[in-house]
Amino acid sequence: MNTSFMNGLFPALATPFLDNENIDENGVEKLVQTLVQQGADGLYVCGSSGESILLSIQERKTILEIAIAAAKGRVPVIAHIGSQRTSDTIELAKHAQSCGAAAISALPPIYYKYTLSELINYYLEVMNSVSLPFIVYNAPALTGIFFDKSNINEIFIHPNAFGMKFTSYDSYRMQRLMAQYPDKVIINGHDETYLCTLALGVKCAIGSTLNFALSKFKKIKQDFESGNLKAARRGQDEVNQIVDAMIEIGVFRGIKAMLTLLELPAGNCRKPFAPISKQELDKLVPLLKLLA
User: Using an 8 Å Cβ cutoff, are 136 and 164 in contact?
Assistant: yes
Residue 114: C-alpha distances to residues 133, 137, 247, 254 (Å): 24, 16, 29, 31
Q: Is 72 part of the annotated catalytic residue set?
A: no
Residue 275: phi and psi, rounded to 5, are: -60, 155
CB atoms within 10 A of CB 175: 17
Catalytic residue among 61, 165, 184, 256: 165
User: Using an 8 Å Cβ cutoff, are 126 and 90 in contact?
Assistant: yes
Q: Is 122 part of the annotated catalytic residue set?
A: no
Beta bridge partners of residue 161, listed in sequence order: 134
Catalytic residue among 122, 137, 181, 194: 137
Task: Show which residues are catalytic.
Answer: 137, 165
